[in-house]
Chain A
């Protein structure tokens, strides 16, 4: 009996001890490991899916899509799960457009995950899906798509594999375009199927859409005619800027050679550089317009004042000034019509170098325009204290000074818009999810309207009866100035005798919104004159722009010219 009681006691004690151990374990798990275990369990039942924010679209001024984020698929495989690898490789290679050997090698890798091909189309994904190849899966990704291919590529730029802007507007406005990523935490069943039960969500914020001032149709013409000209003259490169003179809106901006941002590579990325904004060059005779405006504004000279142009050779301090053709006496207007370096030198001498320098500063030469595009160069202008006696003759004819093409276009706009220096811009509006931000027009008066009109009238004569006759169209109010700039050879420290830059900057004055078209062709072969190489390119673009922008009068005149 005693033994039985003892046994019962022992058994009770052992059971009590077991329960005590369990109780201690429970207390330990509940109070000391609770957080860890909760997370451990939720990791098995819950899945966090990152939600990538949709990158904003880029439109032209008429709403045409220039850049958009589209769904695409990347196809991967688990080599261990793929059976009949030879036939699978053959079937997949046909759809993926890869050699079957390459696919077979990937399917034989000693790994549980291998990319077969990144970013295939939905159509190809469906074809692969219908094959029912075990061990092959898909991952949906967003891919930037540029529907117009190389059109305005140097303006738009491109994105990297992570959908971040690396060039152009994609980079400059990346903060707006990219939005904010989100995530969703959802329940999964034992078969890893998603169950959307009260999911915890941080909603992704889509990037803002951007509307440009660029008109894709005009951009097409600028691209088309620029390419023909550069190819025709076997030039190194070329640029065209079409700008609304009244408000600084860039209607087209083209740089050739082009690059297709849908297929960028390490080699093609430099072609995305916006050379019209980043590259500075000595402008040559197109720069004479600053002297023109300064002379008229100061009242030093009038249109019919006479200048003796020294029959083409003029000794100045430290150098000799040449004209491309010997001229005797020319009127003020003729100096610009014939593009006489000596005449312009004498005009600036009459104004005074210091005064002329003040106009250069007023025109913001040597400063960035502030256009909303990345990597804009500021240009070069020596401080007046560093000017030599030669400088006051060389700068007015576009040497010893550096500008980019956009700065030249802005300078010419002053003469068409009544004397205002406008700030060029390429984005018209940014469309956020609940608001729209319109970018404001910035301009400042630099010369009176009357002076601007007088300068404009002289440039109209340059085209009608001057060095830019190849840009002339009867009935159209086209003005402009040619420029043929010798390139500076840094190796020899002298101006090159063979390398030139042919420039022409002109305007269409009788449009409701007058436009300035600036053209620059780098190192053309065969002919290097701005009036021969750049002016016809200007004319082709100008005819299209005039018709397209709704000037019936201009269009009729252009038609009249072309009718047989």
Chain B
């Protein structure tokens, strides 16, 4: 066996094999590292893309939900800004009378003793306690 290893061609072959596999391993690791580098770079790109998308959505959100829009909506829908901690509440100051549409139904209601209905709250404190 010892003689076999002492033969020059065997030694040479082993040396070549060691160098080959060593180089192969080195190159494999290097390629793996480069691939990770590519992936990391791609990760940053995706991150930036998502950040851009988030910013776009924020802009769209504020285009429809700015304070001006909110206040306009509150005004149009009889809501009012109340307090810092309770920003919106139904505006009790505005009385919405529910009107009958036809004279016939009004006459019928009068005959039946039905009073006109209003959306006004009798309890103003409700506004302050909600």
The winner among B34, B38, B52, B83 for most chain A CB atoms within 10 A is B52
Could you say which of A411-419, A515-523, A527-535, A546-554 contacts chain B? Answer: A546-554
B67 touches A71 (CB 8 A): no
Would you list which residues of chain B between 85 and 105 have a CB under 8 Å from chain A?
A: 85, 87, 92-93, 95
**Per-residue interface assignment for chain A, residues 67 to 90, with 1 indicating a CB less than 8 Å from any chain B CB and 0 otherwise:** 010111100000000000000000
B75 vs chain A, min Cβ distance (A)? 10
Instruction: Tell me, in angstroms, the Cα distance from A555 to B52 when the chains sit together.
Output: 44
Tell whether A200 is near chain B: CB-to-CB under 8 Å. no
Contact present for A140 and B52 (CB under 8 Å): yes
Chain B residues numbered 25-80 whose CB sits less than 8 Å from any CB in chain A = 33-34, 37-38, 40-41, 44, 48, 51-53, 55-56, 58-59, 62, 66-68, 71, 80
Asked if residues A123 and B56 are in contact (CB atoms below 8 Å), the reply is yes
Contact across chains for B93 and A562 when beta carbons are under 8 A apart: yes
| A217 lies within 8 A of B67 (CB) | yes
Instruction: Classify chain A: how many residues form its interface, as a range.
Output: 35 or more
Give bound CA distance, A126 to B60, whole Å: 16
In the bound complex, CA of A359 to CA of B84 (Å): 38
Question: B81 and A548: CB pair below 8 A?
Answer: yes
For the residues of B in contact with A, the DSSP-based class is helix
A2 within 8 A of B: no
Q: What interface size band does chain B fall in?
A: 20 to 34
Is B112 an interface position by the 8 A CB rule? no
- From A195, A215, A549, A556, give the contact of B34 (CB < 8 A): A195
Verify if A30 is at the interface (C-beta below 8 Å from B): no
Given contacts A70-B58, A123-B56, A216-B67, contact A196 B40 (CB under 8 A): yes
A220 to B71, Cβ gap below 8 A?
yes
* Interface assignment of B128: CB less than 8 Å from any CB of chain A: yes
Which residue of the partner chain, among A70, A71, A197, A549, contacts B37 with CB atoms under 8 Å? Answer: A197
The chain B residue sitting closest to A60, CB to CB, is B67
Determine if B82 is an interface residue (Cβ-Cβ < 8 Å).
yes
Query: Of the candidates A145, A147, A196, A549, which one forms a contact with B84 in the assembled complex, judged by CB atoms under 8 Å apart?
Result: A549
CA distance A17 to B58 in the complex (A): 73
- Complex CA distance for A555 and B66, rounded to whole angstroms: 26
Minimum CB–CB distance from A456 to chain B (whole Å) comes to 25
Q: Which residues of A contact B59 (CB under 8 A)?
A: 70, 121, 145, 147
| Nearest chain A CB to B5 CB, angstrom units | 39
| Beta-carbon contact of A193 and B38 below 8 Å | yes
**A517, B123: Cα distance in complex, Å:** 32
Structural contact, A121 and B56, CB atoms closer than 8 A? yes
Whether a CB of chain A sits under 8 angstroms from the CB of B110 is no
CB 8 Å contact bits of A102-136 with B (1 = contact, 0 = none): 00000000000000000001110100000000000
- The answer to whether B124 and A550 touch across the interface, beta carbons within 8 angstroms, is no
Per the bound structure, the CA–CA distance linking A73 and B85 in Å amounts to 38
Asked if A149 is an interface residue, CB under 8 A from chain B, the answer is yes
Asked if A286 CB lies within 8 Å of chain B CBs, one says no
What residues of chain B lie closer than 8 Å to A391, measured between beta carbons?
none
For B38, give its contact among A195, A217, A224 (CB under 8 Å).
A195
Q: B93 contacts A559, CB within 8 Å? A: yes
In the bound assembly, the distance between CA atoms of A147 and B37 in angstroms comes to 38
Q: Does A278 reach chain B (CB closer than 8 Å)?
A: no
* Other-chain contact of A552, B55, B85, B128 (Cβ < 8 Å): B128
Residue A148, interface by CB 8 Å:
yes
Is A363 an interface residue when CB atoms closer than 8 A count as contact? no
Chain A residues near B44 (CB, 8 Å)? 196
Please report A residues at the B interface, Cβ cutoff 8 Å: 62, 64-65, 68, 70-73, 121-123, 125, 140, 145, 147-149, 151, 186-187, 193-197, 215-217, 220, 224, 544, 547-550, 552, 555-556, 559, 562-564
Which 6 A/B pairs are nearest by Cβ-Cβ distance? A147-B62, A70-B55, A122-B56, A195-B37, A71-B52, A196-B40
**17 A-B pairs in the complex with CB atoms less than 8 angstroms apart:** A65-B62, A71-B48, A71-B51, A122-B52, A122-B55, A122-B56, A123-B56, A145-B55, A147-B59, A148-B68, A187-B37, A194-B41, A195-B38, A196-B41, A197-B33, A220-B71, A556-B128
Binding site for A on B (CB under 8 A): 33-34, 37-38, 40-41, 44, 48, 51-53, 55-56, 58-59, 62, 66-68, 71, 80-85, 87, 92-93, 95, 124, 128
Known: A121-B59, A123-B56. 5 other contacts (CB 8 A): A194-B41, A196-B37, A217-B87, A555-B128, A559-B124
